[in-house]
Amino acid sequence: MAQPNLSSDILRTLVAVVERGGFIKAADYLHKTQSTVSQQMKRLEQEVGVNVFRTSGRKRLLTSEGEMLLSYAKRMLALQDDAIASLQESGAKGEIKVGVSQGVAETMLPELLASFARANPGVRLYVETGYSPDLNAGYERGDYDLVLTLSLDANIGKGELLAVEPLAWMGAEGWEWSSARELPLATYTDYCQFRKASIAALNSAGLPWRVVYTTSSYQGLMAAVKSGLAVSVRPKSAVGDGVELVGDRLDLPSLPNVYSWLRYRPSLEAGCSLAAAFKASILKMQ
């Protein structure tokens, strides 16, 4: 019997399907067609001889064997990335102090920084998350070498514009609400731009609201949304498992776009390398 051949391309597709929340989003993330992703997952099941996915309603979930395979896939891919990084080690060296807006840190940051660190072992990273006005002020004081910030107005952003996407109302799948009662909100603190935007939109539309859950944790915020306790406002790309866009269905008011900005010091070779990684990651998400 021939030994199964688990190509890294198929394993990366498996990880993307799980982490991105489905075949369609994985296809967009990997710049592949949905049929290609489906074919690769079917080929994977044929190679290993077990069902990797099971159907639950309209969703495709991992089987217990699939969960086990996912764990191995991540370890195999990490080992391969480390091997390639060791053979093709970047010449970038030094220390980078990075400031990243909370709205960005909650989605792309961990994976991006881990990949950058593996490819650039000579670079020491110091990363802080925070609110964009504080990060911009810190950059101007010299506290940071690179900052990735957000604004809700194209005229007040600072640096190089990387991306524009709409803000969106997010709620638990199937969540219902009547405009006769207050809309429950889950938000970050008063300093959060998204909180201010959601409240301003509701006030302008004359809709009643109340903040029922305030947190500084993205995991806590999304747990409140997924449980049906409240809705929240995040960039549209942040929608994931157990959450859906509810703005149109519930006739909630429109929200502004969110603009992503990058500032870095070109004199730092390591900073330029990390800036390039941020640009590539943002482009991949669009």
Domain region containing 249: 165-257
Q: Using the structure block, give the residue that is written with the tokens 């900073």.
A: 271
Residues whose CB falls within 8 Å of the CB of residue 14, separated by 6 or more in sequence, listed in order? 41, 44, 52, 69, 70, 73
Show the CA angle centred on residue 184, arms to residues 179 and 185, nearest 5°: 125
In this prediction, residues 83-100 reach a mean pLDDT of 69
What pLDDT is attached to residue 2? 57
Residues 252 and 171 in one domain: yes
What pLDDT is attached to residue 277? 82
Residues 203 and 193 in one domain: yes
CATH of residue 152's domain is 3.40.190.10
Per the rule left: phi > 0, alpha: psi between -120 and 50, beta: everything else, 22 is left
Check pLDDT > 70 for residue 91.
no
Q: pTM for the complete prediction?
A: 0.65
Query: Residues for the chain: how many in total?
Result: 286
Structure tokens at 214: 């305030």
Q: In the Cβ-directed half-sphere of 170, how many Cα atoms lie within 13 Å? A: 27
Check pLDDT > 70 for residue 112.
yes
In this prediction, residues 163-173 reach a mean pLDDT of 92
Check pLDDT > 60 for residue 53.
yes
In this prediction, residues 240-248 reach a mean pLDDT of 90
- Which of 207, 217, 208, 165 has its CA nearest to residue 186? 217
In this prediction, residues 13-20 reach a mean pLDDT of 89
